[in-house]
Amino acid sequence: MDLIRNYFEKSFELNDQEWEFFSSKLIKRDFPKKHILLKPGQIENYLSFIQKGIVRFYIPKENNDLTFSFAFENNFVSGYNSFLTQTPSTYYIETLTETNLWQLTYDDLQEIYQKTKIGNAIGRHASEQLFLKKIQRELSLLSETPEQRYKNLFSNQIELIKHIPLKYIASYIGVTPQALSRIRRRIS
Amino acid sequence: MDLIRNYFEKSFELNDQEWEFFSSKLIKRDFPKKHILLKPGQIENYLSFIQKGIVRFYIPKENNDLTFSFAFENNFVSGYNSFLTQTPSTYYIETLTETNLWQLTYDDLQEIYQKTKIGNAIGRHASEQLFLKKIQRELSLLSETPEQRYKNLFSNQIELIKHIPLKYIASYIGVTPQALSRIRRRIS
DNA sequence: CGCCGAGTTGAACTGAATCAAGAAACGTGG
DNA sequence: CCACGTTTCTTGATTCAGTTCAACTCGGCG
């Protein structure tokens, strides 16, 4: 659980009292491989910190579904738009490996917002970070080649990427599995 | 200025008092065509509502610069990440036509957050909307062809698109100007 | 009037999509 | 723990959309 505190303390001053209150709301839950955390139509009730594991975000499609994002260890995962607006999700979130989460419910988060000073700062920070990530992603999709995107993903997440089936990575990068197989061959 | 109130009232209940306070902070400013609103390195000081006009967001590149976004009438425009974090922007914002803006400074917005109930709701709402737009954009770049993206842009903004030089649209869609010229020919 | 940037068009090239088949890895039930 | 069937990955051949380089047209502006 110190992981989470460390994570926050990169961005905030967090005193023991605030941390006590915050962490008292966190519930640890473990999920097996291929477990669906969120389905289209469901309303996301959790903001979760990934202690261990990998999850993917996807939208089902006829042939191959569209994997548009991953989340790794030491990061937050949530159907964030559904969570924020408390409206039905439009996509799936699924574990790819055994996954250990620390979960915070929507109601508990609202309470944290109201009862602590740091709450709102944390919430705003989370939104900002997500937004920044999406801008990065937009620029990557517009200006980089699939090969460059693969290399970047690879150099950022060397170990973790090994556990992700190639076809999901291909989709995330924006090419077919065949194309990624060839990219892989020519850069190795 | 009623435009702005209407815009908000699609999402919120806004009483006269709140509106008075909010609108007292808005300053109208007019800009000519090709005016640079924000440069890399500058810190964005404004959140602006576009009464009339079109602006583009871009990053300069060797040959052709990378136009990654537009904003149209009746919408907000801002170097939003720079604005939120009060750190230097990484991109340009430029007017493409004569543009009339209602501007709100960072400090005034902070005051609105503190002094009105509705302030935080508006701020959160803005973040959420931006985030949702970026997810849409991500899915569009991953799953649609340039031709489909062009058609969508075209059907959403028929009139406005006429005023945007083809080469900027091409960049936004993710192809060269030559390719967009051919796409245009084959669908008309 | 002449220049310059923007758009169009052509030709050759390239990287990815598609279709198809085979190899490897994985999971499940006996 | 092996055997089988399914899924995932690889490889090949073909097709296609977009890139690149280049030349030409058009319209606006000094």
| Same domain assignment for residues A98 and A187 | no
Q: Hey, which bits of chain B come out as E strands? A: 27-31, 36-38, 46-52, 55-59, 66-71, 76-77, 92-95, 99-105
| Same domain assignment for residues A172 and A127 | no
Which of A76-85, B24-33, B156-165 shows the lowest per-residue confidence on average (mean pLDDT)?
B156-165
Alpha helices in A10-117 (DSSP H): 16-24, 80-85, 106-115
Residue B171 has pLDDT above 90, yes or no: yes
Domain boundaries, position A94: 2-143
| Same domain assignment for residues A69 and A15 | yes
> Comparing B155 with B104, which gets the higher pLDDT?
B104
Residue B62 has pLDDT above 80, yes or no: no
- Closest to A107 measured CA to CA, from A17, A187, A27: A27
Other C-beta atoms within 10 Å of A1: how many?
A: 12
Q: Compute the nearest-CA separation of A31 from chain B (Å).
A: 26
Vertex B55, ends A174 and B187: CA angle to 5°? 55
Interface test with A, best of B70, B78, B91, B143 (most A CBs within 10 A): B143
- Model confidence at B90, pLDDT cuts 50, 70, 90, reads very high
pLDDT in tens, A136-151: 999 999 999 999 999 9
The Cα B107–Cα B123 span in angstroms is 14
| Same domain assignment for residues A118 and A180 | no
Which residues from A are below 8 Å from B when comparing CB atoms? 59, 61, 66, 68, 80-81, 84-85, 120, 124, 127-128, 130-132, 134-135, 137-139, 141-143, 171, 174
Sign (positive or negative) of CA dihedral A106, A110, A113, A115: negative
The Cα A167–Cα A176 span in angstroms is 7
HSE of B51, CA atoms in CB hemisphere, 13 A: 17
Sign (positive or negative) of CA dihedral A175, A181, A186, A188: positive
Per-residue pLDDT, A2? 80
**Residue A129, token pair as written in the block:** 């970070």
| Same domain assignment for residues B13 and B93 | yes
Per-residue pLDDT, B125? 79
Closest nucleotide to residue A165 (Cα to C1')? D8
| Same domain assignment for residues B31 and B114 | yes
Name the strand (E) or helix (H) holding A99. strand A99-105
| Ranges of chain A with pLDDT below 50 | none
The Cα B155–Cα B178 span in angstroms is 21
* CATH number of domain containing A36: 2.60.120.10
Compute CA A172 distance to the chain's CA centroid, rounded to the nearest angstrom: 13
Per-residue pLDDT, B162? 85
Q: Are A27 and A102 in contact (CB under 8 A)?
A: yes
The Cα B70–Cα B44 span in angstroms is 17
| Same domain assignment for residues A42 and A129 | yes
The Cα B134–Cα A154 span in angstroms is 24
Interface test with A, best of B44, B134, B168 (most A CBs within 10 A): B134
Chain B 111-170 residues in 7 Å CB range of strand C:
165-167
Q: B17 Cβ partners below 8 Å, 6+ apart? A: none
Compute CA A129 distance to the chain's CA centroid, rounded to the nearest angstrom: 12
| Same domain assignment for residues A44 and A136 | yes
Per-residue pLDDT, B63? 75
Last residue of a domain, one of A108, A124, A143: A143
| Same domain assignment for residues B150 and B132 | no
The Cα A120–Cα A122 span in angstroms is 5
| Same domain assignment for residues A133 and A173 | no
DSSP-derived 3-state class of residue B80: helix
Between the two ends of chain B, the Cα-to-Cα distance in Å is 39
Residue B178 has pLDDT above 90, yes or no: yes
Q: Are B63 and B41 in contact (CB under 8 A)?
A: no
Per-residue pLDDT, B107? 97
| Same domain assignment for residues B176 and B114 | no
The Cα B173–Cα B181 span in angstroms is 12
B18 secondary structure, DSSP code:
H
Using a CB-CB cut-off of 8 Å, the residues of chain B touching A135 are 81, 134
Tell me which residue in A127, A139, A141 faces B142 most closely, judged by beta carbons: A141
The Cα A181–Cα A100 span in angstroms is 31
Counting the structural domains of chain B, the total is: 2
| Same domain assignment for residues B164 and B127 | no
